[in-house]
Structure 1
Amino acid sequence: MDTIQVRGYINHEGKLEVEIPAGLPEGEVKVQIELTQANTDELPWELRPWTKEELDELLQPRPAKTGAEIAERVQKTSGWWEQQGITDPVAWLEELRQREQENRNS
């Protein structure tokens, strides 16, 4: 199997734009996408792809928490919305969704 490398661009519609060199035969191909560092650095953190190290860390088994440990954690983190200045979580979520939609469309 022969392999060639070409540069492409993923547009706001999620379509891959690429110039195929002349002379290639018609037929099925395998596409592998490697994001350039510049592209991922420009993304907001929540839209950046997971790294292998992050995925490995998340997939490590951890001991289960007891009900008391979970209740303690909930008690410690309650008030987070207020600390962030969020008085209406539903409105905040709608604004977040709208910003994400605008980012996808730009």
Structure 2
Amino acid sequence: MVIFKQIILYLMGIGLLLFGFRRNIDDAIQDYRKKHPKDENKDLEKHFETQVLKVDTTTHELRNDQVYFQVLRISSDDLKRKKSTRSKITTETDHAETATDSM
């Protein structure tokens, strides 16, 4: 048991001598990073999908030739309200005779 204890203490002493001076290890790591720089943003574009937007010169609008979907989130309350009320769609115009009084 005494020999086992001496071996453990000896190994702990060697470990402290080697790894006790953190300054030397940190300097070695910084030197390695300076010699071998790592570009962390080089694979960043692989994770994103890009689409090309074209400008229609006659109407000055952007046009997307890619097929895409729009997600609409409708709760059950919105569905109940939509079923219960009958809405009437009216078109407002600029004419004073047909415009509604909103004030």
Q: Same fold (TM over 0.5)?
A: no
Ranked by relative contact order (alpha carbons within 8 Å, sequence separation 6 or more), the top structure is 1
Structure ID, larger Rg: 2
